[in-house]
Amino acid sequence: MSKPKSFPGPAKFFIEGALYVPYVLDEQKTPGDEFLLGKYNGPLDCHCVGCGRASVFHRSSSPPIAPADARYFTCVRSGNHELIFYYLTWSETPERSSEEIKEVLEKAEVGKPLPPGPPTTHYAMKIGQWPSLADLASERVGRYRSVLSEKQYVEFNRGVGLHAHDVGIGSFVYLRRIFEDLVEEAHAKAKVDAKWNEDLFQRSRMEEKILLLSSHLPRTLVENRKVYSILSVGIHDLEEEECAALFPVVQAGIELVLEEKIAEGERVRREKEVKRAIEAASQEISERKS
C-alpha cells in the first residue's frame, strides 16, 4: 500500500485524489462525519467529458442503485453527464505491546481509570471512478495541442496521466522531454545565424543554454528556466512522493510557456487578418477610383 497522505478535503479527494492511495482523515472526525465524504453536498468543478468543456457538478439527488460508498455527481449542463466515485473508509487503532501494557499497569493508581490507549486513525481511499483521472485532466492538456507536436502532445498526456495515478518520477520524465524539446526548437532556429557559437552552446549547462537562446524562446521559459533543474533533481534524487507533490508546480511552469506560444500564435494570426482586411479595403477603394 502507498504511503498515507493528508486528506485534502472532499472536493479535491474526488477530483484529484489518486486511486488506491490512503488518505489520513482528521483524528477528531469519524468516517460518517459530515466533514468527510458520506454527506458531502458541495459542487465539483472540473472538465466534463460529455460536454467537452469545463463544468460544475452537483451531488445527484436520486442516483442509481450503488454500493454505500459510492457518490454520483451530475453536470449542471446535462443531466446525462455524470461523475461516479467509489471509495473506502476504515479506522485503525494500534495495539499496545506487552511491555507498554506492563508499564501502564505498574503506573496505575488504585481507584483511578487507566490512561487512554493509542489514538484511532481514520482513513479514506478512492478505489474507482468514471471518467478516469486522466480523462478529467484532458481539458488542460487539450488546450495546448495547437502548440505541441504530436509527439509532445502524447508525452504531455502521458505525464499528466501518470501523475493522476500517483506516479511521481515517471511523470517528471515526460515533462522534462517536453521542456528539452522546446529548447531544441529554439536551438534549431538560432544555429542558422552566422554569429551563433555552437561550441559554446554545446559546452553549456541547460540554464546557460536557455540564456543563450533567450531571443528565440518565450519570455516565460527564460524567466522560469530553473524548472529544468527541478525536473532533473526530481528524476535522479527525489522520492516518488516528492516528485508527485512537485508535479503541479512544474506543470504550471511549462503551461506558462505554452500559453505564451498560444498568445503569440494568436497575435500573428490577427496581424495577418488585419493585413488582409487592409489590403482588401485598399483594393476596393482603388477600383472605385479607376
pLDDT, one tens digit per residue, over 176-185 is 888 888 888 8
- Give the cell for residue 257: 510557456
Instruction: Please give the backbone phi and psi of residue 47, each rounded to the nearest 5 degrees, phi first.
Output: -70, 135
Q: Return the SS3 of 110.
A: coil
- Give the cell for residue 175: 515533462
Q: Return the SS3 of 7.
A: coil
| pLDDT, block means (10 residues), the chain with 290 residues | 78 85 70 62 85 85 63 86 88 76 69 70 87 76 85 86 79 85 89 90 90 87 82 76 79 84 89 89 79
Does residue 30 contact residue 124 with C-beta atoms inside 8 Å?
no
Does residue 201 contact residue 187 with C-beta atoms inside 8 Å?
yes
Please give the DSSP secondary-structure letter assigned to residue 147: G
Amino acid at 72: Y
Strand ranges, E, within the chain: 5-6, 22-24, 44-48, 53-59, 70-75, 82-92, 121-130
Cα-based distances in Å from 150 to 142, 154, 156, 217: 12, 6, 10, 20
Please give the DSSP secondary-structure letter assigned to residue 215: G
195-251 confidence digits (pLDDT tens):
899 999 999 988 899 999 988 888 888 888 888 888 887 777 777 777 777 788 888
- Give the cell for residue 119: 489514538
Does residue 216 contact residue 191 with C-beta atoms inside 8 Å?
no
Q: Return the SS3 of 29.
A: coil
Instruction: Please give the backbone phi and psi of residue 56, each rounded to the nearest 5 degrees, phi first.
Output: -120, 135
Question: How would you list the strands of the sheet with 70-75, edge to edge?
Answer: 5-6, 22-24, 121-130, 82-92, 70-75, 53-59, 44-48
Percentage of the chain lying above the pLDDT 90 cut: 7
Q: What is the pLDDT of residue 101?
A: 67
Cα-based distances in Å from 245 to 25, 37, 190, 248: 19, 23, 35, 7
CA dist 209 and 186 (Å) reads 10
Q: What is the pLDDT of residue 159?
A: 87
Does residue 10 contact residue 89 with C-beta atoms inside 8 Å?
no
**Taking the mean position of all CA atoms in its chain, how far away is CA 106?**
53
Q: For the chain, how many residues are written?
A: 290
Q: Return the SS3 of 233.
A: helix
CA dist 169 and 163 (Å) reads 9
